[in-house]
Chain A
Amino acid sequence: MIMDFIGELLKLTVLAGLTVAGILVILIWKKNLATRVTYLRFLIQVAAMVSVFYLFTYPVWQFIVLIVILLLPLVLGRFFCGWLCPFGLYMDAITLIRKGFKVRYRNLPDKLNKFLHKFRYVLLLFFLVVPFILNVIDPPPAESLTLMALVLAGPFDAWRILLGPVIPLIVPWKGPLEISKIYFSYPYVQEVIYYSKLLSIEVFTTIMAWVFVALTIVGSFFLRRVWCRFCPTGSSIAIVNRFRGFKWAPLLHIYKDEVKCTKCGICKRVCPVQVTDVYEQAGGKITTSMCMLCMRCVEMCPYEDCLKVNFGGKTVFKSRNWLEPAKVE
């Protein structure tokens, strides 16, 4: 048992080491942090998806992953959403395909976008409460409750929806679609099936699952990062960012230098989730709970040092005159 655990730990260390090595290779290759964050982000997203697949091999990890996702924003803001989330990767991939077809994207009206943003907190609250409702409807043996919560089983199975966006395309468990012993899944599909069953509309479960898949694929073809505007997981502790008193809490922030900004509007246009605060706010800390820190705005801002990404007070990345090639150190 203990040996198994050590074995797992070793494998994880190797995985983490590989990821770090990959990042370093990219950094050395590019010679400068400031070039093309987008590529780096893709690499990290893929690495993250692989690690998630690996972690999901053991059910006990699911709950830990969930806790980590929910707590990460405390430290990093919504860094997870922009850089690690597998669903984000799928949507970004679809965006790449769209770019290949030279098809334009659409935008949601700003008001609707902001409403959806607030609506996510309602969704989050709802999904957090569901297990307790189920508990009342169908009370399970009380003594096993804590353990069930730990493995996301029994009534706590409903919490699994918060892991929805993290689901890899190939799952290590019995997924909804099987092709020659490989189980395929898609974010939220299992949850759609689960909830359909709860509501006793079993007949349509598969159809509903397919409809969901189709909707998100088509949606993210036209709207960049469409699910990120609904996703309750992402909103979780980003709640903290919403309140002025807690804005200091996360270590990762985007800063704007008011004087250097000419309000050219590029930051607003390139933002995949249509955050307007970067453009609208005068200066200072401009991270909001809507921002998923993908840093596209910082990358595209054409003014030296106008936008900066600070991690615990240290600038890790800043905007620059991207017309010039990056300086080689």
Chain B
Amino acid sequence: MKNPSEEKKYMLDISQKEIEELRTTIRATSKKMTAEYIERMRKADKNRPEAMRYFDEIADFEKREKELLAAKESGKKVIGYMCLFAPIELILAADAIPVRVNSGWYDASKLGDRVVPVEVCPMVRSTIGAKMIGLSPYLELSDALISGLTCDGMTKLSEILSDYKPVWAMAVPRLKDSTQSLSFWREEMKTLMKQIEALTGNKITRSKLKSAIELTQRATKAFRRLQEIRKGNPVIMGRDAMLVNQAYMWDDIKRWTEKTEALCEALEERARQKSWACSPDTPRVMVTGTPMIWPDNWKVPSIIEEANPQGLLVADELCSSERLLYDPVGVDEWTMDDMLNAIAERYLMASTCPCFTSEDGNKDRVNWILNKVKEWKVNGVIYYVVRGCMLYAMEYMRVKKVLDRMSVPVYYLDTEYTREDVGPLKTRVEAFLEMLTARVDI
């Protein structure tokens, strides 16, 4: 824990008045925008399942903020995380609440420019900006942050945020395949476990960890069920599914699982009735690349599904959506040791983050994209990158070459944390979708 009187390493002083003003305006803009997004999502699918209503509600951060406040008052701790390398199970086993704190606010990224240059990834800038003015309830409420040192942006972000809160950095080995990486990562897990235990004052016991793993396994089960449904004819719009997936980042996991199962139930019924969300001939699109974070950064999925010709998001390979939960923790023996190993492996080995490389490049990610393209019958891939996201941008050529060989069109869509470029983006996405439909009339 650091002394609050200590001088800030990175952050600039900003007057309380300015903070208040900025927070109010940005919140208001964002609220309007998200309300509009949800309204558009409702309109996009006439028979949108009633079960989606829950996710529309939880998409409003205020609801969850109140719950977290109440939980904190009852003595629970909230632990925030930035990358998917944070072991949720350990947080849960210590009776703490995990929330992901990455920011999607467009306007906050402009505030981040005061601390870091504009070339930096806008998600990092936006998170800095959000912290500056206390915009994100999750970031504000977390008692500590877990940061996976994946890309350069994340590494320095954790340093910058340590001006405010204890940040537990976990060094992610960039090579997965070596034995020393895994043993190193296991040690990181054990260290983190001790830190969590110290903060919460709760000991992580075998039975607690077991039930935490079982909880996330059930969540994974519901999650995979939803993705499985998306393999068939469209019964859910991609944006809706993305919102469901993303709600996992801040929602109560048990409740989320129940609601998702209920949604799957409704969707399966819908598939039996053959009431499709949009024409089954709609080109099936997959997005991969930089994470798209709710609330603001929702423009690309919206553009894809509202374009003319229309596209349907059937899958994605984003760490803000399908990479969250697809892999289960596979426990062989329910001993403390094996559970920890299983958790360590699930977070390190199963990840397809572009921060990894090997003798053969980041082959796991390429393979996983190929698998998704095949399994979800994807017609085209949109490779979404925000300016400053080096790892994804640099890996594009590799992915393109592989997809070209399979003659699956892929388009590199680059953008920023801004609303202003929706026009040009739309033109490009529409041209791409036009190409996918390969309509006879062209």
Residues of A whose CB lies within 8 Å of any CB of B are 99, 102-105, 110, 258-266, 269-270, 280, 296, 300, 302, 321-324
Contact = CB atoms under 8 A, between A and B. Distances in A.
Interface in B327-374: 327-328, 330, 332-338, 341-342, 345-346, 349-350, 352, 364, 367-368, 370-371, 374
Contact of B332 (A263, A270, A280, A302): A270
Contacts of B275: none
B330 A302 contact: yes
B338 A104 contact: yes
Interface string B175-202: 0110100100000000000000000000
Nearest to B176: A263
Contacts of A258: 367
A261 B368 CA distance: 7
Given A99-B334, A261-B367, 8 more contacts: A99-B335, A258-B367, A262-B350, A263-B177, A263-B364, A264-B327, A266-B332, A269-B330
Interface stretch (B29-37, B217-225, B241-249): B217-225
Interface of B: 176-177, 179, 182, 206, 217-218, 220-221, 224-225, 327-328, 330, 332-338, 341-342, 345-346, 349-350, 352, 364, 367-368, 370-371, 374
For the residues of A in contact with B, the DSSP-based class is loop
B182 A265 contact: yes
A264 B179 contact: no
Contacts of B206: 102
Contacts of B221: 321, 323-324
A264 B368 contact: no
A28 B132 CA distance: 63
15 contacts: A99-B334, A104-B333, A105-B333, A105-B338, A259-B374, A263-B176, A263-B177, A264-B345, A265-B182, A269-B330, A300-B332, A302-B327, A321-B221, A323-B220, A323-B328
A292 B352 CA distance: 30
Nearest to B179: A110
A262 B330 contact: no
A276 to B, nearest CB: 9
A264 B350 contact: yes
A300 B331 CA distance: 9
B350 A259 contact: no
Given A259-B374, A262-B350, A302-B327, A269 B345 contact: yes
Contacts of A324: 221, 224-225
Given A300-B332, A302-B330, A262 B367 contact: yes
Contacts of A105: 333, 335, 338
Contacts of B345: 264-266, 269
A102 B333 CA distance: 8
B367 A259 contact: yes
Nearest to A301: B330
Nearest to A260: B371
B224 A321 contact: yes
Contacts of B352: 262
A302 to B, nearest CB: 5
A323 B332 contact: no
A264 B346 contact: yes
Contacts of A263: 176-177, 349-350, 364
B288 to A, nearest CB: 14
Nearest to A267: B330
Contacts of A264: 327, 330, 345-346, 349-350
Contacts of B371: 259-260
Given A259-B370, A262-B350, A262-B367, A104 B327 contact: no
B368 A104 contact: no
Contacts of A104: 333, 335-338
A103 B220 CA distance: 28
Contacts of B182: 265
B364 A302 contact: no
Nearest to A109: B179
Nearest to A104: B337
A99 B334 CA distance: 8
Contact of A99 (B327, B328, B333, B336): B333
Nearest to B338: A104
A103 B335 contact: yes
A269 B225 contact: no
A302 B328 contact: yes
Contacts of A321: 221, 224
B350 A323 contact: no
Nearest to B370: A259
Contacts of B225: 324
Nearest to B348: A265
B227 to A, nearest CB: 10
Q: 6 tightest A-B contacts by CB? A: A104-B337, A264-B350, A323-B221, A265-B349, A266-B330, A270-B332
